[in-house]
Amino acid sequence: MMIRVAAAAYPLDWFDDWDGYEVKMTEWVGKAADQGAQILVFPEYGAMELASVAGVAADDLDAATRAVSDLLPRAADFLSGLAQAHGVHIVAPSGPLMTDAGLVNRAMFLAPSGAQGHQDKQIMTPWEVDPWQVTGNGPLQIFDTTLGRIGILICYDCEFPMLARRLVEEQVDIILIPSATETVAGYSRVRIGAMARALEGQCFTVMSSIVGDYPIEAVNISHGAGGVFCPPDKGLPQTGVIASGDLDVPGWTFGDLDLEKLATVRAGGGVRTRADWPLQMDRPVRHQPLT
């Protein structure tokens, strides 16, 4: 099976009203669908632009957080309608959501059938912990879709190999990675993590980013690009890069994922990192003085 994915380099806009948001999302989803994309990945904290719809002052992060939390369900329902209209799967822009467990960073995953799932970020960056007080929440979700088994690791989560390994152990073929990074170093960390997880798990990873400036503290400066990655092995790109957008240039980056070639690599590639993972466990450690 061949699957076309679209990874967003997504600039945030300031809207006068809800209609402006609907127009933007309709255009973005329509452009990706017109290019044959079956999975669309919007970035982490892309939903922060919803604060403008509520008329929140740009310098009031608490008010912006509450406004976005209130509007996330409405945004998910609207994007779900677009997913159904175009017959695509959409990772919606994630945002802060108030739950019984506290404030979480939630990405909705929307199917063309109308079904809605979600993944909450697992591990917070220091700034998310303090001052924002966002908390990790809930289990890793496994999404069984018509396109195969898919997982989501939000930004920083992809820098932790054991999170991806849990997905791989559940036979996930594609890991989607919405991100928001304020520096090129941060973007590089997530990109390197995405590429490493594709190598280790012999799977595909798809990274999206926010780009540009915005007058809300959590997303005031963002650098990034879309990227689609694979294990560098037989029949797949030798660099491990299927597609990569230009840094800080808004738009979609498209990549084609060949699940048959992926299966071939796992069974008979140059290495067996997915199968050989347990061989590294429980190794004895010995100190050897060389003084």
In this structure, what CATH number is given to the domain that contains residue 120? Answer: 3.60.110.10
β-pair type (89-91, 95-99): unpaired
Q: How confident is the model at residue 247 (pLDDT cuts 50, 70, 90)?
A: very high
Distance between CA atoms of 265 and 280, rounded to whole angstroms?
A: 20
What domain range includes position 89? 2-269
Is 156 among the domain residues? yes
Q: What percentage of the chain exceeds 90 in pLDDT? A: 97
Is 288 among the domain residues? no
Q: How many domains does the chain have?
A: 1
Tokens 């809930």: give the residue: 138
Is 284 among the domain residues? no
Q: What percentage of the chain exceeds 70 in pLDDT? A: 100
Q: Say whether pLDDT at 1 is over 90.
A: no
pLDDT in tens, 30-68: 999 999 999 999 999 999 999 999 988 878 999 999 999
Is 281 among the domain residues? no
Distance between CA atoms of 181 and 216, rounded to whole angstroms?
A: 14
Is 248 among the domain residues? yes
Is 291 among the domain residues? no
CA torsion through residues 269, 166, 224, 252, sign? positive
